[in-house]
Amino acid sequence: MQESKMMDFRKLEDVMKQPDDFSLVDKQENVVSNFMADLKHHQIDSGSALQMFLDHIPISSIPGIKNSPVVELNTEDRVKDAIHLLYEKNVSGAPIADVVDPDTIIGRFSDRYVGYIDLAGMVLWSLEECEKAHMQTRGTGGDENGKGSIFTMLEDNPRIGQAKVGELAKSYLWDPFFPVHLDDTLFHVLLLLSNHHRLQVVPVIDRSNFQGIGFVTQNAVIQLLLQSSGLEWFDSIADKTLSEFRFENEDRVDLVYGDESLAEALHNLRESRVGVVAVVNRENKKVIGCIRKSDVYLLLENNELLGDRKRLTVGEFIHTETAKENSDGTIERDLGALFAAGALQLRNNFRPKMDSPVTTKKSSTLKQAMKDLAQTKGCFCFLVNDEQQPEGLLTLRDVIIQFAPPCIDSNIHGGGFFESVLEQTGCQVKNGTVICDH
């Protein structure tokens, strides 16, 4: 771009560096005002207008990034050891590094990371593989006598327990690995979380040594977006009712009946694309709970649950979270986004209980749903009718998509955030390109 056609965004950067006694809303109001004023006097290319605004909201402004420890696995680690390590470190997932000779690495050191894997996925995969092995051999391992642990099962099935983490990529247990740096921006994060269907967290890498220092979670992004409540660009989207949007799973939800076995629910959970199944009453189909991938760690905490999974009903299982009875949720809610990354911990007392899932109706606004999810640190809410029967699912990704900027690549459909801001300047987005009327 020629220098004469570039907008002077230095003053926007100065605005974002104002003292902390300026709220994020105040800063964004100034950014929008300056952004609009500059657009009236300068011509910019189609890509720059899309990126400049959010490129002045740095990732470092997102609280809680370093709240969860970063535990690294590598492709040569054994499944049994990987599960044990993540369980002991109280983390739900880890980046996977390829095992290479450092002297042969070409390019950035971070290129050695090949994916991200979660503990629950490995546990569910191990259970299913062990049960297949049991059916083939008709043996009686720890998974059948009610006394064994997941580690006992993997010791009894060395083909499974000694499998390498790198081999699990073939079982679709890896998530893509797209790291960012602290000096990257919210624009980058929104694009990653909205355009990659399986990306749940964005790893943050220290630029100086390319070591992982934390994660940006979907919860943290929701918390940050809510700080813009009251601004026109935000409210024009968030004040719409859910019925005005089209969500990926708004007409379907994976479910099990409360009288079904936990083993059946775990199988359905592994098959679920979104990592949650609704638990409903067989008689009236009302929602009575849920089972999420984040709940699988309970099978590691309590060997009896694991051993009894074929006899224990789902309805009984969702009432087993006694450890959460004494937690003080008001403290967590008051601290807000500072604990958003805590969602990556296995033992999380502030996550909604299995028998108290977040629900909402399509007549509710997107903003109210966002507030409910932020307050409870939930990752989804069931869309229910007047009889409290589940009709669909709203995920954090569904919400984030509505605020993700459109991309200059017309094949990627963005949300309404930038479109709303640009309309205030006399511009509009057509096929991923910014068109200005002046």
CB atoms within 10 A of CB 271: 11
Instruction: Identify the top-confidence range among 7-16, 46-55, 152-161.
Output: 152-161
Q: In the prediction, which pLDDT does 414 show?
A: 39
Q: What is the pLDDT of residue 277?
A: 97
Task: Write down the pTM of the prediction.
Answer: 0.79
Residue carrying structure tokens 């459109």: 406
- Residue 315 is part of which domain span? 242-319+339-403
Q: What is the pLDDT of residues 189-245, one digit of tens each?
A: 887 887 655 677 888 888 877 788 888 888 888 888 888 788 777 888 899 999 999
In a domain, 31, yes or no: no
378 occurs within a structural domain: yes
At residue 98 the predicted structure's pLDDT band, cuts being 50, 70 and 90, is: confident
Q: Does the pLDDT of residue 40 top 80, yes or no?
A: no
Check pLDDT > 70 for residue 354. yes
**How many domains does the chain contain in total?**
1
Integer distance in angstroms from the first to the last C-alpha of the chain? 18
For residue 260, tell me if it sits in a domain. Answer: yes
Residue 182 belongs to a domain: no
Per the CB < 8 A criterion, the answer to whether 431 and 410 are in contact is yes
Q: Which residue has the higher pLDDT, 411 or 270?
A: 270
Residue 101, C-beta contacts closer than 8 angstroms, at least 6 positions apart: none
Q: Any idea what the CATH number is for the domain that residue 373 is in? A: 3.10.580.10
Question: Is there a domain that residue 354 lies in?
Answer: yes
Cα–Cα distance for residue pair 129/80, rounded to 1 Å = 13
Region of poorest pLDDT, from 3-17, 45-59, 239-253, 281-295: 3-17
Beta carbons of 344 and 201 less than 8 angstroms apart: yes
What's the CA gap between 74 and 116, in Å, rounded? 10
Q: In the structure, what pLDDT confidence band is assigned to residue 178 with cuts at 50, 70 and 90? A: confident
8-state DSSP, 50:
H
| In a domain? residue 310 | yes
Q: Is residue 293 part of a domain?
A: yes
Q: What is the pLDDT of residue 322?
A: 54
Residue 208 lies in a domain: no
Which comes out higher in pLDDT, residue 96 or 111? 96
* Least-confidence region, from 117-131, 268-282, 284-298, 408-422: 408-422
